[in-house]
Amino acid sequence: MPRILLDTNILVYFYDHHSPQKQNQARLLIRGLSANKTGYISAQNLSEFASSTMRKLKPPFTPTEALDEANLLANTLHVLDLTPQIVLEAVRGVRDHQLSYYDAQVWATAHLNQIPVVLSEDFQDGQNLEGVRFVNPFLDAFKITQWL
């Protein structure tokens, strides 16, 4: 099974009761990738998760809840550090691929860590940038068994 980087939206949907189909898909993915030991997130994703769950979830997480759940994710999935090389590669991604900076940072994390797949609803499904393929796990055509 390929190593897979999960974008922040999947982490947040794990807890979003207002999107039950996406929540179910996120739960299947995170549990399956954790069991297979093929799931990765970046420090950026963990940071965005904490911020998003305290601001955007209805009801929002308390800081204690955000801390507890971020801690759980950090102990469930492999967490990749944000490095100076990732920052520089992200800027190159902005320049060469016209990505927004934080999307470029997700791409750069996968690219520099040789992770071939990013699961996210924020990129064009099927897009391939220098060996990193973006897949939207919330589309009807997505087959979860292919990734677990």
Query: pLDDT, tens digit, for every residue of 24-41?
Result: 999 999 999 999 999 999
Segment 3-62, tens digit of pLDDT: 999 999 999 999 999 999 999 999 999 999 999 999 999 999 999 999 999 999 999 999
What does the domain layout of the chain look like in residue ranges?
Answer: 4-137
Q: Count other C-beta atoms under 10 Å from residue 29's C-beta.
A: 23
The highest-level CATH class for domain 4-137 is alpha beta
Cβ-Cβ contacts under 8 Å for 132 (sequence gap 6 or more): 107, 110, 111, 115, 116, 117, 118
The CA-to-CA distance between both ends of the chain, in Å, stands at 7
